[in-house]
Structure 1
Amino acid sequence: MKKIILSFIAIGILFSCGKTKEENVIAEAETEIKEEVKEELQPISDTVMENAIIYEANIRQYSEEGSFNAFTKDIPVLKELGVKVLWLMPIYPISTTKSKGSLGSYYAISDYTKVNPEFGTIEDFRTLVKTAHDNDIYVILDWVANHTGWDHIWLKEHPEYYTKDTEGNITHTVDTDWTDVADLNYDNTAMREQMKNDMIYWLKEEGVDGFRCDVAGMVPVDFWNRTVTELKKIKPVFMLAEGWEPELLENAFDMGYGWDTHHKMNDIAQGKSNVSEWDKRMVQIDTMYAKDDILMNFTSNHDENSWNGTVKERMGDAAEVFAALSYVAPGMPLIYSGQEYDMDKRLLFFEKDTIIKKKNKFFPLYKKLGKLKNTNPALHGGKNAASYTRIITSDDNKVLAFARKKDNHEVVFVANLTKEPVKFTTEYKGEFTNYLSGDNFEIKPGQEYELAAWDYWILIKK
């Protein structure tokens, strides 16, 4: 009898154990499903723009492979840097007729609705976009509306879409050396409509979130205004103009290039100007632009790097302080491919080149600056930006000091923008934390402070 009872107990235990394992398997499966169902990235908004960092991706040169897939693997790394907007340099097929170099210019496009097979397939591109969205990063495409490559189908099917000389020949853009492209004629309404439809394709079919528009000031503003109105009927979009003209930002574009700001940085770094020129630039911005206009801050981009020199060539030992300034000044900071890896070479433009991805000084700096930009409202630089107030010092031609404030948050930036040590005083006061060192820091009226050449403080109000 004992044997029978024990047998029933054993069977019960086995049954019970089996049921528990089954329940565990179901529970684990449910957990996996929940983990796989990630919340869809919400459309881009003014809120996103406030604390965003933009990254310019040069797919051809980013890796040895020069492919979408090689770049996609590193998208989580961009998230570490606080990147919110990913700008892809032109990804379309490149014209071979009249092309420059062995690979041609990204900006000589032969088809607006295809991808360059050099980079991969449309499926590879879709994976890139999905991966970016999964990492809370928006994707904008470089759009070249001023001209096409000489292989574009429009040249054969619609020559009336193009600008012609007095003899009736299609020409490249006047007063440029862009001989590898054919200039488009914006007096032609049919061409305008097709251009708009090609942009719509990328929003509707491929899920991109906006466009960076090449030489935007060379295309009629009314085209941009009408086209962007139509794009926004599909979904909210982020529009970046390669241009400084205030009229571009009145309706069509969210952000323009801070070209003059960049030039002031270069001039100060090279000893051609001093801090007074920065102050004049800040006044100029307030005078020229509306409060909700955004300007992009940068120490490099694809044009500057390839044609005017690396950051080290142009800024030398001042590279770090101007990188920091691009984050804490009003606007949105840009990282160009390779800057996070201390890149110090001019990337070839018409040939294959490669960025060496080795973390050194700038990766941890950009990571820390990115965290501050993403999280502190005092650095908001969008359509509802934090205030900017110049702090007076005893040596304002050498020392740049200002406060950014919003919603009881305050960030103070103090920098020596010269190649020599400087001593100074200020009447400003407050208790802060030195963001980069973590040390307590108090500013006292009348107290003398000293900064080494190109040194700076980012101070967070306690």
Structure 2
Amino acid sequence: HEMGFKVMIDWVANHTAWDNVWTKEHPEYFVRDSSGKFKPPYDWEDVIQIDHTSIAEQDAMIDAMKFWITECDIDGFRCDLAHLTPLPFWKKARTILDKVKPLFWLAESEEINYHEVFDASYTWEFLHKMEAFWRGETNISGLDSVLYKYDTVFPPGAIRLFFTTNHDENSHSGSEYERMGDAVKTFAVFCATWGGIPLIYSGQELPNKKRLKFFEKDPIKWTGRNELHDFYKTLLNLHSTHPALRAGDENVKTYRLKTSDDEHVFSYLRKNGDREVLVILNLSPRHNLHIALTDEKVTGKFKNVFSGTIKVFDTGDSLVMQPWEWFVFEK
């Protein structure tokens, strides 16, 4: 807090380790099989399933969550696999805990109705659509279809968390470089500038290109030059300071823009009053792609966020883009 950070803690409400203190003090808090033994959820043999029907268990868990607020002054919870725990529990927990301190609630879930409780949720569907795009299994229209769904199906004010990797994806499916190849940085720009908030995983600023072991200690090698430090610093600074990128702000408007090559270029304008962020992404391996912005919404003087150069846009102005290149302008 003294350094300006907000602190969130990961909370796994659905299951615990086999040696959790409750297994001895309150075995009735767990689901058990016909022989009375603790039962793992699914085939996850390293954990055991909590019985969410137990009111005593619910109250005990909420009390445990309260400890981290009263004793450690945390600012929110990132709730692991939130949809595996019934929504009524989360409603009860937030009602009680927000009276102690107003918190930020992030669901590792994409269940729409969980936004009745949670402020933000993961965008798993779009992550997999980006991966499919890199594999050539979908196109820009496919990306747009998911974003349209997010805008029309999720409730107003629902904040979405965009990312190119996280601990699950890295260990189980491979690093973002395995899954997205040359498109990694281009999609990272998208995740930091589209409506929502970006997630950056440990080691992305290196970049870390190896799969980290999931159940064993496997430290990231923090040696040498952090090649993408400035890249992510620029994006995150823009996201945290520019009013046109403010998540959950009803004054922010997002406009998909027409270009002279919408088959290969994905462009959009984020706007809050007279403050704007213009993003142009070449989602292709094409060299020397001449792009004209044909949308009348793009006018005036902008600054290139990465180079600092100034560009004045008029309708029909063109740019030349290299494979997977991006431009981010602000005013």
Aligned partner of 1:248 among 111, 114, 133: 114
Q: Is 1:204 aligned to residue 73 of structure 2?
A: no
How far has the Cα of 1:383 moved from its partner? 4.6
State how far apart, in whole Å, the 1-side matches of 2:66 and 2:130 are: 37
Q: Which residue of 2 aligns with 1:425?
A: 292
Aligned partner of 2:25 among 157, 167, 174: 157
**One-letter identity of the residue aligned with 1:452:** Q
- The alignment's TM-score, normalised by the length of structure 2, stands at 0.94
Question: Which is worse superposed, 435-444 or 412-421?
Answer: 435-444
Aligned partner of 2:320 among 450, 454, 461: 450
**One-letter identity of the residue aligned with 2:147:** M
The 5-angstrom pairing of residues 49-128 of structure 1 reads none
Aligned partner of 1:298 among 163, 180, 198: 163
Q: Which has the higher contact order (CA 8 A, sep 6+)?
A: 1
Q: Which residue of 1 aligns with 2:206?
A: 341
The 5-angstrom pairing of residues 131-146 of structure 1 reads 133-146=1-14
Are 2:251 and 2:273, in contact at CA under 8 Å, matched by a contact in 1? no
How far has the Cα of 1:167 moved from its partner? 4.2
Aligned partner of 2:82 among 193, 209, 216: 216
Q: Which residue of 2 aligns with 1:147?
A: 15
Q: Which residue of 2 aligns with 1:284?
A: 149
**One-letter identity of the residue aligned with 1:425:** A
For the residue of structure 2 that corresponds to 1:138, the secondary structure is coil
State how far apart, in whole Å, the 2-side matches of 1:447 and 1:255 are: 37
Q: C-alpha deviations, 1:167-218, integer Å up to 9, x for none?
A: 4432111xx2211111011111101110110000111112211211111000
Residues 149/332 of structure 1: CA separation in 2 closer, same or farther (3 Å cut): same
Q: Which residue of 1 aligns with 2:124?
A: 259
- The alignment's TM-score, normalised by the length of structure 1, stands at 0.68
For the residue of structure 1 that corresponds to 2:118, the secondary structure is coil
Q: Count residues with an aligned counterpart.
A: 326
**One-letter identity of the residue aligned with 1:195:** M
Q: Which residue of 2 aligns with 1:182?
A: 48
Q: Is 1:312 aligned to residue 180 of structure 2?
A: no
Q: Which residue of 2 aligns with 1:169?
A: 37
Q: C-alpha deviations, 1:274-320, integer Å up to 9, x for none?
A: 21112111210112112211011111111011111111111111111
State how far apart, in whole Å, the 2-side matches of 1:158 and 1:360 are: 47
Q: Is 1:435 aligned to residue 300 of structure 2?
A: no
The 5-angstrom pairing of residues 217-236 of structure 1 reads 217-236=83-102
Q: Higher helix fraction: Structure 1 or Structure 2?
A: 1
Are 1:340 and 1:359, in contact at CA under 8 Å, matched by a contact in 2? no
> RMSD in angstroms over aligned alpha carbons?
1.6
**One-letter identity of the residue aligned with 2:90:** W
Question: Which is worse superposed, 227-236 or 260-269?
Answer: 260-269
Long gaps (5+) in structure 2: none
How far has the Cα of 1:438 moved from its partner? 1.7
Q: C-alpha deviations, 1:306-337, integer Å up to 9, x for none?
A: 11111111111111111111111010111111
**One-letter identity of the residue aligned with 1:437:** S
Q: C-alpha deviations, 1:346-384, integer Å up to 9, x for none?
A: 111211121122433310011111221122101112354
The 5-angstrom pairing of residues 395-414 of structure 1 reads 395-414=261-280
Long gaps (5+) in structure 1: 1-132
The structure 1 segments of at least 4 consecutive aligned residues displaced by more than 4 Å after TM superposition are none
